[in-house]
Structure 1
Amino acid sequence: MERVDLNPPTDAARRADAYASAPLLNCLLREVARPVPERGDRPVYRLPGTGRLLRVRPGRRPAEPEVRADGAWQPLSHAELVKLVAEELRAHTGLPGDDLPAEMLDSRDTVAALLAARARAVAPEDPYLRSEQSLITGHPHHPAPKARGGGPVAAWLPYAPEAHARFPLVLLGVREDQVAEEGDTRALDALGTAPPGYRLLPAHPWQLDLLAPGLAPAFADRRLIRLGTTESAVRPTAAVRTVYEPGRDLFLKFSLDVRITNDIRRLWRHDLQRLDRSDTAAREAFAAMGPPAAWLSDRGYRTAAFAFEELAVLVRDGLRGHLLPGATPLLAAGLAEGFDGSPLAAAPDPDAWWAAYLRQVVPPALRAFDEYGVVVEAHLQNTLVAVDAAGMPVQALFRDAEGVKLLSDVGREAGWERLVYCLLVNHLGEIAAALAEAHPGLDPWPALRAELSRHPLPEIPALLAAPALPGKTNLLLRWTGADGADARYLPLPNPLRAGDAVRGGRDR
C-alpha cells in the first residue's frame, strides 16, 4: 500500500532535511553501505546489518534517500533516515550509539534555525567573513556537523557564524594571583581596562552562560569580576568558538563546553601546555620557507588558575601582517560549500584556477612535513586561500597549532597518513569535486598528480600508485564512542591513480 503523508513537510522543512541528510548519507555510504548492481539512474546500496536496500540521488551531496519497503521505494525524511541509520548501526556494531541519534536530530534542527535566521540577517560585505560564515552543510562527511549540544536555540543562535552573528565579548577581571598564562598575550590588554590588582580576561558570552553556576563562588569572593563588554563586536568564524575582530585584526579562540562534530570544544590543559612547542615548530618552518605561504601563529593563552580550561582564551595572529598586498583571504571550506562572490564557481578558466590553487596549497604542506617534520592539519577549515583581484589563488595561509603534529612524536608513517587525509581527502578532494560540479567536463586529477609529482618526497610514488586513500570514519567513530582525536581510517578509491575510473564526489 502506498504511504500517505497526512502532514506533508513545508519547503523550509524539506530544505533543512536536505542539508542535514547529505553529510549523514555521505558517512553511511562511505563507511557502511555496500553497492548493489542494479539498473537505473540512482545507485542502490545494501545495508549489511539489517539487509535493507537504500537508494539516493547521486553526487557529492547525495539527496532524496529512499528505502525499499513493501515492494516499493519509500522516501525518507531526515528523522526517518536517522532511525534507519540507528537500526543499521545497532545491528552492524552491536552497540547502542548512546547520544548520537539525538545529535543527528539536533543537527537538523540547528540547520532549520540557521536557515530561518539567515533569511532575516545581512551577510557581511567582507568576502573573507562571508566565506567563514557560509557553512550551512559544514563537514561533508560527519553525521551531525551542525549539532549545538541540544540546547535551546536562543542560547546559541546569537553566536552562530552561519547566522551572520556579530557580538561583543564579555570582559572579566581576574585577580592577579589567579592568572595563568604563557606566550604573548598583550593583545588582550588592549581590549579594555582592568582595575588595580586584576588582569583583563575576555570571555565568550555563550561559554560564560554555560559556566555560570560553577563560577558563582569566584564572583562571590572577587577572584573574578565583571568589567562590561568590548566596545567593538567580533565575528564568529567557521570554528564557532574562534572569533575575529576586524578593527584590531585579531583572532581569539575560546573554550566552549559544547560538542561540535567529534569533540567537546574546550581548550584542554594538555593541548595548551604543548601549544608553544607545536606552534613554534610550525612558525619556524613557515618562516624558513618564506612567502607567500604563511602560518597564523597561536601566540599565547591566558586563563584563570581556578578555571584553567573553562576560561582559557588563545591569541592568534591576524591576517594583515601575512597577506600579500591586494590579496583577499577566503576560507577553503567556504570555497567547497559555496558563497556569494566565490571565485571558484566564477573562474573563467577553471583549469588555470585549479593549477594556481594547487601551487599555493600543496608545496608548503609537503615541505613542512618533509623538511621540517611538521604535519599541519591542512583540512578545509584550517586553510585560507588568498586570491588576487581577478580571483586567482596567490597565497595559502594555515592555522591552528592545536591540530599540528610533529614527526618526532608520531613518526613519519602516521604523520604521512594524517597529512594525506587532511590535505588530499578532506581538503583537495572536496575542492576538486566542487570545481568539477561547477564546471562540468573538468577533470581535476591530472593537475593534482602533476603537482604532487613535482615534489621529491619518497612517499609520493607510492601515493600515486596506491589503490586507496585513507578516509576518516566519523560515523563509526562517534557511534562506537571513540575519542574524537583517535582518527580511524578506511580505504577509499584513489582518484590519483592514473587510468582508474573516478567515482562521484561522495567518495572523497
Structure 2
Amino acid sequence: MERVDLMPPSDSVGERADAYAAAPLLNCLLREVAEPLPDAGQGKPRVYRLPGGGRLLRVRGARRPAAPEVYAAGRWHRVGHTELVKLVAEELRAHTGLSNGDLPAEMIDSRDVVAALLTARARATAPDDPYLRSEQSLITGHPYHPAPKARGGGPVTAWLPYAPEAYARFPLVLLGVRADQVAEEGDTSGLDALAAPAVVPPGYRLLPAHPWQLDLAARDLAPAFADGRLVRLRETDFAVWPTAAIRTVYEPVRDLFLKFSLDVRITNDIRRLWAHDLRKLRRTDSAATAAFAAMDGPAAWLGDRGYRTARFAFEELAVVVRDGLRGALPPGATPLLAAGLVEGFDGSPLAATADPGAWWRAYLRAVVPPALTAFADHGVVLEAHLQNTLVAVDADGTPVQALYRDAEGVKLLADVERAAGWERLVYCLVVNHLIEVAAALAERHPGFDPWPAARRELARHPLLEVAELLAAPTLPGKTNLLLRWTGADGADARYLPLPNPLA
C-alpha cells in the first residue's frame, strides 16, 4: 500500500497545518460526494469527478488523502486549504441546493487551530506516561470530519491552555455551591476529596469547574456569584490532564476522570452535558456496568459513577465522575487510546510491532468480543469507536484488554430498534474503529491483509447479524460533511453504503 508523507520536515507550520486539515476534509468529500474514476494503478494519484460542476479532482494517498489538485485549462493545479474549502462549499451547494455560511468558517478555524497546536507542541514537552501521550496525540483527530479541530472560532488564548494536543495540564477551579442548590445523582464522593474539608464554607458543597467553561458561562453565572448561591474558592493544588475528548480530564494521582460541560462545538455537537443525557446516565451506566460484570475475560467498563451540578446552572456547571484506570487493568498492562494508535505517537506499539498478524489477532480478541457480547447478551450498544476505546498492552506491546467508556454514548436496545442499534454498533466498531486500525497497520506493513483474521474473529460469535455482516456488500458510513452542511442534529446519524472489506 502506498504510504504518503504528508508533512516533510522542511515544510513550514502553515504548510503542515494545511496538510493535516486537508486530509479529513478530503476524506469526507471523497466518501460522501465525489465519484471515483477508474484506478490509475499502484502509486498513481486517484482521480474523482465532482458531480456538482463536473470538475476533476485528484489526490495522493489512501488513508489520509494529500496534495489535492483540480484539472483546468488542460493541466492539474494544486489546491491549497483555503481553495479546497471554497471548492467543497461550491460542490455542496450544487449537491444539496442549500447554503451554509457556518461550516466553511469552521473548516478554516480547524486548520488555524492545527497551526496553533503545531506551534505550541514545538515548545512543549510531551508527557512521560504513554497513556497520556496517546490521549494527547490527535493532531488530525476524526479522520472523516470536515472540521475535526475547530474550537468554536474563539481566540487562541481562550482555548490553547486547555488543549490536549498542546500537551496541556492545568488546575481546576473549585467552587462552592450553596447546599440547597446542589443537584446530584449517583456516587460523587470523588469530588469531595478534591480539597480539604476546611476549604469549603459551612452550608456549601464542593463543585470543580473547568476554567474554560467557567469563562464561557461567566455572564450567565454572574447573578449566582452576586447573591451567594455560588462562591469561588480556589484552584486545585494539583493539575489535571485533558484527554482527547477535551472536556474530560484525568488526574493520575487520584486515578480519577472528570467530564465537564463545554459550550463549544467540537466536531458535530456543542459539548454541553445536556439535562436529558444526565438524567438517563445512571440507567445507561448501570446497564453497561452489569454487562461487563457478567462477561468472561479481562474487558472492562469505566463507569460514570454519578454527576453533581447546581440547580440554577444544571447543564453549564455539571461534572460527571468517571472510574479511573488502575483497578481495571491487568498487572503490568499499559492502557492506550485506540485513536492514538491510529494517529501515531512516540512509543506506539502499533508502529513498533514486527509481527502485524499476531498483534492484530490479539487486538481483535481484545476489542471485538466485549462489544458483541454487550449487544447480544445484554442489549447494550457501546459507542465503540476509536475515542471511546482504550487498549491495554503488555510489556511487549501486545494487546491484552479493551476498556470502554462514556455512558452518554451508550444506547439500550430497550429504547431503540434492534436494527438501528446494530447499525450504530457496526459503524462505531467496524467503520470508525477496526477499519482505521487495520489501515494504519497495513500502511506500515505493505502486503499485510488484516481482513481474514477480522472475519474469523467476528465469525466466532453466533449472531445472525454477524453472519449478515460478513456477507453484506456494504457497511454504513456516517456522512459528517452532509450532516453538518444540512444542519442536522449531531446525534441524528445518517449513513451511506461503503464497500465492506469483510465480505
TM-score normalised over the length of structure 1: 0.95
Structure 2 residue 165 is the aligned partner of structure 1 residue 159: no
SS state at 1:398 partner? strand
Q: 1:293-322 CA deviation, whole Å, 9 max, x = no partner?
A: 000000000000000000000000000110
Matches within 5 A, 1:109-508: 109-192=112-195, 193-497=199-503
Tell me, yes or no, if the aligned pair for 1:425 and 1:469 is still in contact at 8 Å.
yes
Counterpart AA for 1:28: L
Deviation per CA, 1:251-283: give whole Å up to 9, x if none. Answer: 000000000000000000000000010000000
CA distance in 2, matches of 1:11, 1:119: 12
3-state SS in 2 of match to 1:409:
coil
SS state at 2:502 partner = coil
**By how many angstroms is 1:291 displaced?**
3.9
Aligned-residue CA RMSD in angstroms? Answer: 1.0
What letter corresponds to residue 19 of structure 2 in structure 1? A
Deviation at residue 98 of structure 1 after TM alignment: 3.1
**Contact residue 378 and residue 398 of structure 1 kept, 8 A:** yes
Distance 1:38 1:162 in 2: 36
Aligned to 2:95: 92
Contact 1:345 1:439 in 2 (8 A): no
- CA drift at 1:36: 1.9
- Ranges in structure 2 where 5+ consecutive residues have no aligned partner: 1-9
Aligned-residue sequence identity (percent) comes to 79
Deviation at 1:109, TM superposition (A): 0.1
**d(CA) in 1 for partners of 2:496, 2:151:** 28
Distance in 2 (CA, whole Å) between partners of 1:364 and 1:136 is 29
Residue 438 of structure 1, CA deviation: 1.1
Which residue of structure 2 lines up, in the alignment, with residue 6 of structure 1? none
> What's the counterpart of residue 48 of structure 1?
51
> How far apart, CA to CA, are the structure 1 residues paired with 2:367 and 2:223?
48
Rounded to whole Å, the distance in 2 between the matches of 1:190 and 1:179 is: 17
TM-superposed CA distance for 1:39, in Å, is 4.1
CA distances 1:136-194 after superposition (whole Å, capped 9, x unpaired)? 00000000000000000000000000000000000000000100000000000011131
- 1:385-423, Cα deviation, whole Å (9 max, x unpaired): 000000000000000000000011112111100000000
Shift of residue 70 of structure 1? 1.6
2:3 is aligned to none
Unpaired runs of at least 5, structure 1: 1-8, 498-508
Is this contact kept in 2: 1:176–1:199, CA < 8 A?
Answer: yes
Residue 108 of structure 2 is matched in structure 1 by 105
Q: Mapping of 1:30-41 within 5 angstroms?
A: 30-37=31-38, 39=40, 41=44
Cα distance, 1:106 vs structure 2 = 0.1
Q: In the aligned structure 1, how far is the partner of 2:12 from the partner of 2:223?
A: 48
Cα 1:350–1:10 change in 2 (3 A) is: closer
Q: Determine helix, strand or coil for the equivalent of 1:408.
A: coil
2:5 is matched with none
Is contact 1:98-1:479 (8 Å) kept?
no
CA distance in 1, matches of 2:311, 2:39: 62
- SS of the residue aligned with 2:414? helix
Q: C-alpha displacement at 1:89, in angstroms? A: 0.3
Q: Which amino acid aligns with 2:37?
A: V
Instruction: Confirm or deny: 8 A CA contact 1:282 1:374 kept in the other structure.
Output: yes
Look up the equivalent residue of 1:91 and give its one-letter code: A
Q: How far did 1:58 drift?
A: 2.4
Match of 1:504 in 2: none
Correspondence for 2:4: none
Counterpart-to-counterpart distance in 2, 1:38 and 1:383: 34
Q: CA offset at residue 290 of structure 1?
A: 4.1
Instruction: Name the CA shift for 1:38/1:469 in 2 (closer, same or farther; >3 Å).
Output: closer
Q: Distance in 2 between matches of 1:38 and 1:419?
A: 31
Asked whether the equivalents of residues 23 and 142 of structure 1 are also in contact (C-alpha less than 8 Å), the reply is yes
- What CA distance in whole angstroms lies between the structure 1 residues aligned with 2:30 and 2:217? 39
Give 1:74's match in structure 2, choosing from 73, 77, 84: 77
What SS does structure 2 have at the residue aligned with 1:462? helix
**Offset from partner CA, 1:85-144 (integer Å, 9 cap, x none):** 001101110111230000000000000000000000000000000000000000000000
Amino acid aligned to 1:294: A
Q: How far 1:38 moved relative to its partner?
A: 6.7
Q: Which one-letter code corresponds to 2:26 in the other structure?
A: L
Residue 289 of structure 1: how far off its partner (Å): 0.6
d(CA) in 2 for partners of 1:120, 1:240: 20
* Aligned mates of 1:263, 1:434 — CA distance in 2: 27
Contact 1:182/1:300, CA 8 A, preserved across alignment: yes
After TM superposition, the score normalised by the length of structure 2 is: 0.96
Flag the 1:38–1:301 CA change in 2: closer, same or farther, 3 A: closer
Paired letter, 2:174: L
Question: How far apart are residue 37 of structure 1 and its match?
Answer: 2.9
Deviating more after overlay: 453-462 vs 146-155: 453-462
* In structure 2, distance between residues paired with 1:12 and 1:109: 10
- Distance (whole Å) between structure 2 residues aligned to residue 269 and residue 495 of structure 1: 39
* CA distance in structure 1 between the aligned counterparts of 2:355 and 2:263, rounded to whole angstroms: 44
